[in-house]
Structure 1
Amino acid sequence: MKKFLKALFYVIAAVYPILVFTLLVVFKVETKVLSLCIIALAAAFFLSATGSKKTSDKKGVLDWKPLLSSGLFLAAGLFCFFTGKELFLKLYSVVISATLLVVFGSTLFLKPTIIFRFATLADKSIKGSSYEKQVELYCKKVTIVWCCFFILNGTTSGITAFSDKIFGLSLEQSRKVWAIYNGGISYVLMGLLFTVEFIIRKLVDRKMIKAYPISKFKADSRKDDYVLCYEDTWSKGNYKTWKDFLIDTAKLRKYIESTGADEFVLHCEDYWYFLCTFVALLQCKKAAYLTQNITPSFMADVRKPGMIFLTDQNIADPSAPSVADAVLIQKLVEESELPSETEFRTTPEINGEETRIFLFTSGSTGKPKAVPQRMKEFEEDNAFIISKWAGEFTNRKLLTTVSQHHIYGFLFGISLPFTLGCPFRRNRVEFPEEFEKLTDVSYILIATPAFLKRTVEVEDKLAMKNVWIFTSGGAVSEELAVQTEKVFGFCPLEVYGSTETSGIAYRQQNKDKLVWTPFANAKIWLGDDGCLRIISPYIKNPEGFATADLAEIFEDGRFLLKGRSDSIVKIEEKRISMTEVENRLLETGLVEDVKVVAMMNDVRQYLAAAVVLNAKGREQFKDTEKYLINRWFHDFLMKYFENVVIPKKWRFMDKLPVDVQGKKHKLEIMALFEEK
């Protein structure tokens, strides 16, 4: 019975104007009799609304739609019965439009909008996706359109209800006008609005950025001919497609499963083979140790018994036990049989929470330490970048100068482009001169400050089109930011973070100066030692992560870095910041780069400085003896520091030793000053 009443509710709600017209005009039913019928319907709808739903948890759940209609019908019926006027029956359509206007309109202020709520109920993948904000904006526009429709429809319905008075029509003519609009034209307009919106939605949907993270992609996520990777320059047309990806990962999965091993060390300079091998390892639920360093001594430190070493590089010393059994990835792919359609169309599930990924970092001793990571945190970290800059990736092709074996290179060079479908270059840019040929399309560049510095030293003005630059792995100096914008036509967007924290904040110096803006998913505060503390989805410790970076946090939540706490040393009871000494040396206008380190001999602790002179410095000290150069810098620093904390040893170099990420090698610099 209840189902019948519910069905009756929807039918009557749809044909209400026609029903009223038929009873009043065709069958000549008295207004008071019709009002009694309406009251009876209201009672029936009330019963269907207050009936209980037997569930495992609760009873007596109200069905609000019939309950609302029963209230409206009851009000219309009672007014009509006591006044004898049919006007109140006709105003039902006006009340419905007004009610819907309030419901839809209120969600424009009490977000999210009702259309967005409907959309997320119908498609749960929208929440947290790369296109969530686009969908939300589109749904807001649709909600506004419906609000406008309800205003116009309600107004027109009201006019038809009073058409006898407004236009001087007879009662029967007025009834016909009201019934034709409210029972016909109104529904046609509503249907047209639904149809037009559906067509527009499909067109908008095609333009929306579709994200398929490594832990969530399926074989049919992209079309077979979708380009994921290119060689050299985009215009040369040497591409690797989605189908190539499915085939190569299937080949590698077959080998990985056949080994029976659980842990693999992965080093692969080729970004394409790296991606395929990495994904295959995760699909096989193996532990992946990513390393840039494959020297025999390093591998001897990190390889455990039973580990398999996968690489695309020829080993310099194949006789060394730690690397002698290296397996060449390209050989596996090229010599493996072509998998069947079923084999490569099958994509084993990757559970982001259960992935075992290890990145190597080193402490003050330089001994490698494997830091455990998961795709869950990587992809949560990517989510903020995607929400803010997805369009910058999808409108360009990707270049990188950094290693994918470190967190910055992996996130921006592998994970992000794969997720967004941004084609990436198969090999990283190794020399600044390579930029001169990358003028065919727009590129997004993933770089380090060190590489940008090398580039601006040898290039005047590059002809690259609409380039976008991300940089991390160190702070960009004010001078370098200006020079980079001059050479590339874009001021680099810096990302602040580390292997332990991933991305924390960003800045672009032509807008933000030296002040950092935290990522929306990061919470920061200062510890008792004045150092930055962070909580973010990436950091697994609920108490957050304590950095060694001294900072000042402003009222708006942004912050300024003030050097590292581990750069502060105490020499003869005098506390001195090595970062401050470096900054003072840069202020001379004669220094291009500098690193100050704390040294210790049998007698005392002291500072030493490794300095790279700029063109002006080289010219000023041309043919000058080294001890006089030392004295010049000593005298300059005496303006700011006591003699006891001024560097006692100096080395003047062509460049400072750095790793592939552009970070200065502290131990190598210290070795320059060690007493023999």
Structure 2
Amino acid sequence: MIALHDLLLDTQAGAAPVCVDRGVTLDRAAFRSRVLAMAETLGARAGVRHALCIDDPFDFVCAMFALLACGKQPVIPASNSPDYLAGLSDGFDALITGDDLPELCVSGAPAAACSIDARAALTLYTSGSSGAPKPVRKTLAQFDAEVRTLEAQWGALVGDATVLGSVPHHHIYGLLFRMLWPLAAGRPFDRALCVDPQQLCARLAEGRAGIVVSTPSQLARWPAMTDFAALARGARAFFSSGGPLAAETARTYQAAFDSAPIEVFGSTETGGIAWRQQDRTDAWQPLPGIDTRRDADGALLVRSPHLGHDDWHRTDDAVAFDADGRFRLAGRLDRVVKLDGKRVSLPELEARLALHPYVERAAVAPLRNAARQRAGAVVVLTAAGNAALLTLGRPALAKVLRRHLAGYVDLVVLPRHWRFLPALPCDARGKMPAAAIAAAFDARPEGFELMSVCPDGDALRMELRVPPGLAHFAGHFPGLPILPGVVQLDWAARLAAECFGGARRVASIDRLKFTAPVGPGALLALRLSHDANRGRVQFTYRLGHGADARDCASGVIVYRKEA
């Protein structure tokens, strides 16, 4: 291990690997040379706080250390979107993007090695539970303490494995696990972001042992989307953070790899706090050097070298400790809201919903843009729940779950709006902020509202609502608004590509029919049937329910298979 602030001074480990880029290894000498060249250019620039919006992980970490080396402060926004950055404009003096790299790397004579102050600061942003960006200032010394903790806990397990990531490096989990820990330990990280499971399999098939840094939502999807067994060829361990991993997902990985993923619990403010593997226990074990205890109201208190001070830090997580010093999470203390004047614990609603045999997981949030403060529930159904959804329909199933909740809570706080989806909405870190849950009730960018998704034999059945104010109705037709057929086709093609990974490149549309008009506010039942062998997705839209239901559009999407 080498201290992060000494990375530019250590000339003895020039051949130590830093980054693997499609079979080419960039070593520490290449890293140091690029950092020092960038530092020479950045040192002459005005401004102290520089926001880093660079997608390439190697270029990002080089720019970050270059800023630290020339006495400037890296600011790491959680997103590169223009609207997001506009809201943070007071938080930085200058912006560095991938387009700036050619200019940054132009340098004359090789720069001399330089030291970095261990107290040098970085600023990250976290959404917290409200969704509003919140700056968190941390020092390089805090990050150094954390990578040493990670190495002490898992260094022997990881060994010389390449770090493969499906999480971005703009958040503390990806920054630490994908970059800073490997840099300090002298093991390489992969330059690619492996969000696509086929890409991950290809990386592991190259022969290098690897560890996979991912999130609960991604790990839950991979077994159904790829040749899951192929991951076993080189995956030495799976890491997960951003929220609890579902017990069923943990069991799936244990069956395939003889061990469940390693889950890490923490936050941007605290860094890593505890870990668990559900094939051993569902309780969380504090990481080495981390002290934990329970406050009078049940809140978790943490004392840690990752904090930068020696005081106890109070979190908003309620916990219960066992006799062995491990703890179980009991919801968020900051998720108590008022609905129609009644205080309600959202974690309690979620826990009560999960007691029903139809419910696997649930997330509840106050809804935006509502005339009155109402709650919405996003529910992931069990097999029995999906069968009930197909038989009863969405409104009737929602009534069943409302009656179930009514046995525990006041009627006025019951969720009024329901979505039945294959997974809970998460942000890029795998967390479920209130804003992400509430967004599930908004119209999607394509224009429709996605009300439910469930398997129907070998197909998928969805319910889409057509908002009355949809822009596509304008001029089509005056006095008799009708949803254009091309919009229905576009929605079917986009959803097919989203649900069936290989169906992205449309080659043609066969047997296209439009048999009934679709008006504002309509509820559309969409059935997608995938024939992977022939590269086809058959779609059918239906209007109405029961005996009144009728087809309104159908066709076959033929796609080119990806190499």
TM-score w.r.t. length of structure 1: 0.60
CA distance in 1, matches of 2:217, 2:115: 39
Offset of residue 500 of structure 1: 0.8
Structure 1 CA distance, aligned partners of 2:350 and 2:25?
46
Give the counterpart letter for 1:384 in structure 2: T
User: Which position in structure 2 is the counterpart of 1:482?
Assistant: 251
Distance 1:251 1:603 in 2: 56
Distance 2:277 2:92 in 1: 46
Q: Is the 8 A contact 1:461 1:486 kept in 2?
A: no
- Judged with a 3 Å threshold, the aligned counterparts in structure 2 of structure 1 residues 306 and 419 are, in CA distance, closer, same or farther, namely closer
Q: Determine if the alignment matches structure 1 residue 502 to structure 2 residue 267.
A: no
- Residue number in structure 2 paired with 1:550: 318
Residues 202-252 of structure 1: per-residue CA shift (max 9 Å, x gap): xxxxxxxxx1122023444444333211124xxxx2221222112211221
Paired residues for 1:318-397 under 5 Å: 327-330=99-102, 332-333=104-105, 336-337=106-107, 340=109, 343-344=110-111, 346-353=112-119, 355-397=120-162
Matched with 1:227 is 17
- 2:229 aligns to what? 461
- Return closer, same or farther for 1:637/1:542 CA change in 2, 3 Å cut-off: same
- SS where residue 547 of structure 1 aligns? strand
Unmatched segments (≥5 aa) in structure 2: 443-466, 470-563
What are the superposed Cα offsets for residues 359-393 of structure 1, whole Å, 9 maximum, x if unpaired? 01234553322211101111112222112221223
- C-alpha distance in 2 between matches for 1:217 and 1:366: 35
CA contact (8 A) 1:504 1:518 kept: yes
| The one of 367, 373, 379 aligned to 1:611 | 379
In structure 2, the partner of 1:118 is none
Does the aligned pair in 1 maintain the 2:123–2:138 contact within 8 Å?
yes
Determine whether 1:308 maps to 2:94: yes
Does the 8 Å contact 1:467/1:490 carry over to 2?
Answer: no
What letter corresponds to residue 634 of structure 1 in structure 2?
R
Offset of residue 415 of structure 1: 0.9
SS of the equivalent of 1:412 reads helix
Name the structure with the higher helix share. Answer: 1
Q: Map 1:53-452 onto structure 2 (within 5 A).
A: 211-232=1-22, 237-304=23-90, 307-312=93-98, 327-330=99-102, 332-333=104-105, 336-337=106-107, 340=109, 343-344=110-111, 346-353=112-119, 355-437=120-202, 438-439=204-205, 440-452=207-219
In 2 relative to 1, CA 600–529 (structure 1 residues): closer, same or farther, beyond 3 Å? Answer: farther
Give the Å deviation of 1:474. Answer: 0.6
Q: Please identify the structure whose Cα radius of gyration is greater.
A: 1
Pair 1:514–1:251, CA change in 2 (3 A): same
Give the Å deviation of 1:589: 4.6
The alignment yields a C-alpha RMSD, in angstroms, of 2.8
Give the corresponding residue for 1:185: none
Q: Which runs of 5+ in 1 are unaligned?
A: 1-210, 313-326
Query: Shift of the alpha carbon at 1:286?
Result: 0.4
Change in 2 beyond 3 A, CA 1:243/1:582: same
- More deviation, 574-583/472-481: 574-583
Deviates more, 1:556-565 or 1:574-583: 574-583
Identity %: 29
| Aligned residue number for residue 664 of structure 1 | 432
Equivalenced residue count is 440
Render the CA deviation track for 1:411-462: whole Å, top value 9, x for unaligned: 1111100000111001221112223221322111111111111212324423
Relative to structure 1, is the Cα distance of residues 461 and 349 closer, same or farther in structure 2, using a 3 angstrom cutoff? same
Partner SS, residue 454 of structure 1: helix
Q: Secondary structure at the match of 1:215?
A: helix
How far apart in 1 are the matches of 2:371 and 2:55?
Answer: 46
Normalising by structure 2, what TM-score?
A: 0.72
Aligned to 1:566, the other structure's residue is in SS state coil
Residues 1:471 and 1:239: Cα distance change in structure 2 (over 3 Å): same
Give the distance between the partners of 2:49 and 2:64, measured in 1 at CA.
Answer: 12
Which whole-Å deviations, capped at 9, do the CAs of 1:601-656 have from their partners, x for residues lacking one? 99965432122335553333226332211112223334554544432321233544
Structure 1 residue 599 displacement after superposition: 4.8
Q: Is the 8 A contact 1:222 1:242 kept in 2?
A: no
Name the structure where strand makes up a greater proportion of residues: 2
Report the counterpart of residue 595 of structure 1 in structure 2. 363
